[in-house]
């Protein structure tokens, strides 16, 4: 069964994920290193991990498997989850897959190198209403698509 993992620190689309999780009865994990308010629902589970770099990412990457959905804008986390067969969706609705993740990692690394060299780099555009709508549509479509795929037969 498909589960949703939200890398929730600074995630602007948590409410949209809660709506889709409720619509399709999917379990959603809201993972952060601080207490975050979540709706009272048996489908929504708040996971508070220890503070520290990549602790929330590690928690998600260790648990996400094939047919799970990971919501994150963290490119290294996305790469780890894609490698395990999970589907990654960015908050602006872009799906990252095995074909796209290599370029995303290269771009991220280039921008990090430029910033460390003191070169001012442009930041992404502000998150807007159209992004929220695009994300909601992409997540809904993705869930429907995953539900149509029969589960893989795993040896006992």
Residue partners of 124: CB distance under 8 A and separation at least 6: none
pLDDT of 11 reads 93
Residues of the chain with confidence (pLDDT) below 50: 153-156
Q: Take residue 74 and report the two structure tokens written for it.
A: 């963290």
Helix, strand, coil percentages for the chain (3-state, nearest 5): 45, 15, 40
CA 72/CA 88 separation, integer angstroms = 7
- Whole-model pTM: value is 0.83
Kindly list the structural domains of the chain, giving each domain's residue range(s) and its CATH number in brackets, ordered by start: 3-148 (3.40.50)
Q: Model confidence over 71-91: pLDDT tens digits? A: 998 889 999 999 999 999 999
pLDDT on residue 142: 95
The pLDDT value recorded for residue 112 is 66
């Amino acid at each position: 069964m498909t589960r949703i993992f939200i890398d929730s620190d600074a995630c602007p689309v948590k409410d949209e994920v809660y709506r889709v999780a409720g619509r399709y009865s999917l379990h959603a994990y809201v993972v952060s290193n601080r207490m975050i308010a979540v709706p009272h629902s048996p489908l929504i589970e708040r996971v508070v991990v220890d503070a520290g770099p990549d602790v929330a990412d590690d928690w998600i990457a260790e648990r996400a498997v094939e047919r799970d959905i990971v919501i994150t804008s963290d490119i290294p986390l996305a790469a780890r989850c894609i490698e395990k067969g999970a589907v990654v969706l960015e908050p602006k609705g872009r799906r990252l897959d095995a074909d796209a993740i290599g370029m995303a990692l290269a771009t991220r690394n280039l921008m990090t190198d430029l910033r460390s060299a003191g070169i001012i780099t442009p930041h992404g555009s502000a998150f807007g209403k159209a992004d929220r709508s695009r994300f909601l549509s992409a997540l809904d479509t993705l869930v429907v698509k995953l539900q149509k795929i029969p589960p893989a037969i795993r040896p006992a």
